[in-house]
């Protein structure tokens, strides 16, 4: 006899959303969490970083008040205050998740879960935080254990909490380092680099590939690098860190790029070289769960090879994004409930980087679209000729659209500029609804908004741009 219909392991944005959806569909649901409800996302990831970045952005803006005909004396920041605000934001949302679990009658089991053989799904044995053990049998078990920062201890790339940080230590520093090296120019690395640079740190970003933000469209990477360099960020591209050594004074990195070696010294180093799924120590091997390169292998409905066991979010592989985890969680639960779920929709997953300027994209990059064999129509529109952007004094960046020349399908959209992370969902919606250039052109975009650049970029792809 099963204790629950669904037990979710991990309460991040994949797990807790899956639990709510399960409860909505009338399933008796429990969720296991070993640390804080809300997982990395709202305790140690997406949310607290956004809080820090808002402080950094506001501080940076204060430095440009004169551009707006304003002035204020004694621009300053209280670093501890910045960090405490960020922690407060996390706490608020953490309590919000606790409220949601209660509201939806999801039982929260605090402790670390491991799986044992069971029927019809694996049995979940929880080492309770308060002591003791509790075994629960569910009809369906959903792994939503998330991921953690990738480290390379063999060359010293291991956090010590003092000189070498991962995102976790970087969120609660005692002070802003005078000098900082960030290893990795993905979204996480770039966001911390952006934040600390805004507060005055000397920041160097090391990227192993040939451009920063390598997942983004190449034009965006190039524009981003220029914008960041304008703000004083330094980059080492195509560079490899051979060794990271710590001393009382700081860190020293042996960096090799283009056949040349150099030593970089800094007070602090942030390791942002990717993440690793949390799939060890929970009994997956004994159950014979298929795991590849650390990620649980799943099918179209997030089912694993073990009956009754599913995996969603980071532990099931890239892209490592909260909204991907939530989407999978809902789809998985609806599948379990025998509902069509997302139907035939295969929604593309947008990606956002909250640097200054912001970067957002959805769908294929131009290079990916070409590789996939599409003939393309590509449109671009710069914010420097957008009325709202000019009025706001935020004219950096552009919008780029990529259409299939044969069908008019929107294949991808890429943006860099102020608040573009708030606009990308327009293009995400267009792709999900299978819009063509005709619908994008026929849609009325309000004036004056930055979003008009989305319209213009769509028009530009077909040679119909108006304001250039």
Residues with catalytic roles: 447
Q: How far apart are CA 95 and CA 165, in angstroms?
A: 27
Provide the mask over 164-203, with x wherever binding to another protein is found by CB under 8 A and - wherever it is not: ----------------------------------------
Among 65, 349, 429, 468, binds another protein (CB under 8 A): 349
Q: How far apart are CA 383 and CA 378, in angstroms?
A: 17
Q: Is 429 in the site for another protein (CB under 8 A)?
A: no
Question: Of the listed pieces 103-111, 249-257, 380-388, 404-412, which binds another protein according to CB under 8 A?
Answer: 404-412
**Do 47 and 41 meet the contact criterion of CB atoms below 8 Å apart?**
yes
- The DSSP result for 169-198, as a single string, is HHTS-SS--SEEEEE--SHHHHHHHHHHHH
Q: How far apart are CA 284 and CA 234, in angstroms?
A: 43
Cβ nearer to another protein, comparing 274 with 283: 274
Q: Is 338 in the site for another protein (CB under 8 A)?
A: no
Q: Which DSSP state fits 240?
A: E
Cβ nearer to another protein, comparing 345 with 466: 345
Cβ nearer to another protein, comparing 313 with 351: 351
Provide the mask over 204-243, with x wherever binding to another protein is found by CB under 8 A and - wherever it is not: -----------x----------------------------
Among 346, 444, 446, 463, binds another protein (CB under 8 A): 346
Beta carbon of residue 434, minimum distance to another protein (angstroms, whole number): 3
- Please count the residues of this chain forming the interface with another protein, following the rule CB under 8 A: 34
Which residues, in sequence order, are bridge partners of residue 136?
A: 124
Cβ nearer to another protein, comparing 341 with 448: 341
Which residues, in sequence order, are bridge partners of residue 42?
A: none
Q: Is 344 in the site for another protein (CB under 8 A)?
A: yes
Closest CA to 401 of 344, 451, 468, 355: 451
Pairing of strands 164-165, 410-417: unpaired
Q: How many helical (H) and strand (E) elements, i.e. helices and strands, does the chain have?
A: 14, 23
Which residues in 350-389 contact another protein (CB under 8 A)? Answer: 351, 363-364, 368, 371-374
Q: How far apart are CA 265 and CA 220, in angstroms?
A: 29
Beta carbon of residue 207, minimum distance to another protein (angstroms, whole number): 16
Q: Is 308 in the site for another protein (CB under 8 A)?
A: no
Question: Of the listed pieces 26-34, 224-232, 316-324, 451-459, which binds another protein according to CB under 8 A?
Answer: 316-324
Cβ nearer to another protein, comparing 251 with 359: 359
Q: Is 129 in the site for another protein (CB under 8 A)?
A: no
Residue 15, Ramachandran bin (φ over 0: left; ψ between -120 and 50: alpha; else beta): alpha
**Do 455 and 441 meet the contact criterion of CB atoms below 8 Å apart?**
yes
How many other C-beta atoms are found inside a 10 Å radius of the C-beta of residue 77?
16
Q: How far apart are CA 324 and CA 351, in angstroms?
A: 10
Q: Is 406 in the site for another protein (CB under 8 A)?
A: yes
Q: Is the peptide bond before 357 cis (omega within 30 degrees of 0)?
A: yes
Q: What is the dihedral of CA 169, 171, 174, 175, to 10 degrees?
A: 120
Beta carbon of residue 352, minimum distance to another protein (angstroms, whole number): 13
Q: Is 436 in the site for another protein (CB under 8 A)?
A: yes
Question: Of the listed pieces 95-103, 130-138, 165-173, 431-439, which binds another protein according to CB under 8 A?
Answer: 431-439
Question: Of the listed pieces 103-111, 115-123, 239-247, 429-437, which binds another protein according to CB under 8 A?
Answer: 429-437
Q: Reduce the DSSP state of residue 138 to 3 states and report it.
A: strand
- Lookup: tokens for 105: 């009658």
CA diameter of the chain = 71
Q: Reduce the DSSP state of residue 382 to 3 states and report it.
A: strand
Q: Is 404 in the site for another protein (CB under 8 A)?
A: yes
Beta carbon of residue 327, minimum distance to another protein (angstroms, whole number): 11
Question: Of the listed pieces 171-179, 339-347, 352-360, 387-395, which binds another protein according to CB under 8 A?
Answer: 339-347
Interface positions with another protein (CB under 8 A): 215, 317-319, 340, 343-349, 351, 363-364, 368, 371-374, 404, 406-409, 411-412, 431, 433-436, 438-439
């Amino acid at each position: 006899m099963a204790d629950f219909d669904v037990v979710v392991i991990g309460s991040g944005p994949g797990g807790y959303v899956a639990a709510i959806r399960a409860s909505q569909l009338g399933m008796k649901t429990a969720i296991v969490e070993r640390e804080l409800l809300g997982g990395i996302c709202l305790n140690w990831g997406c949310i607290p970083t956004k809080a820090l970045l808002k402080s950094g952005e506001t501080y940076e803006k204060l430095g440009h008040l004169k551009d707006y005909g304003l002035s204020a004396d004694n621009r300053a920041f209280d670093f501890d205050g910045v960090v405490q605000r960020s922690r407060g934001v996390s706490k608020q949302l953490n309590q919000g998740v606790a409220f949601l679990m209660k509201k939806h009658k999801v039982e929260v089991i605090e402790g670390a879960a491991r799986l044992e053989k069971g029927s019809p799904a694996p049995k979940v044995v929880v080492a309770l935080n308060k002591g003791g053990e509790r075994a629960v049998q569910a009809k369906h078990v959903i792994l939503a254990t998330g991921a953690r920062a990738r480290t390379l201890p063999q060359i010293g790339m291991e956090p010590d909490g003092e000189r070498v940080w991962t995102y976790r230590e970087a969120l609660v520093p005692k002070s802003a380092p005078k000098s900082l090296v960030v290893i990795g120019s993905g979204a996480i690395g770039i966001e911390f680099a952006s934040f600390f640079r805004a507060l005055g740190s000397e920041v160097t970003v090391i990227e192993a590939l040939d451009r920063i933000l390598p997942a983004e469209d190449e034009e965006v990477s190039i524009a981003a690098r220029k914008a960041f360099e304008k703000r004083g960020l330094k980059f080492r591209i195509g560079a490899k860190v051979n060794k990271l050594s710590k001393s009382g004074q700081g860190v020293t990195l042996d960096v090799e790029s283009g056949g040349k070696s150099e030593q970089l010294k800094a007070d602090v180093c942030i390791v942002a070289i990717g993440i690793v799924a949390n799939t060890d120590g929970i009994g997956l091997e004994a159950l014979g769960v298929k795991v590849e390169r650390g990620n649980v292998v799943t099918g179209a409905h997030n089912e694993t090879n073990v009956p009754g066991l599913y995996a969603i979010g980071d532990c099931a592989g890239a892209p490592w994004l909260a909204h991907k985890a939530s989407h999978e969680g809902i789809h998985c639960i609806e599948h379990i409930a025998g509902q069509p779920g997302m139907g035939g929709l295969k929604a593309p997953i947008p990606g956002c980087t909250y640097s200054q300027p912001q970067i957002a994209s959805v769908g294929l990059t131009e290079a990916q679209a070409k590789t996939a064999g599409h003939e393309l129509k590509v449109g671009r529109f710069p914010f420097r000729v957008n009325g709202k952007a000019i009025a706001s004094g935020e004219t950096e960046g552009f919008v780029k659209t990529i259409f299939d020349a044969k069908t008019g399908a929107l294949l991808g959209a890429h943006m860099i500029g102020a608040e573009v992370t708030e606009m990308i969902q327009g293009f995400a919606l267009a792709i999900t609804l299978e819009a063509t250039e005709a619908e994008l052109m026929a849609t009325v975009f309000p004036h004056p908004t930055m979003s008009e650049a989305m319209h213009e970029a769509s028009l530009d792809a077909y040679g119909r741009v108006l304001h250039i």
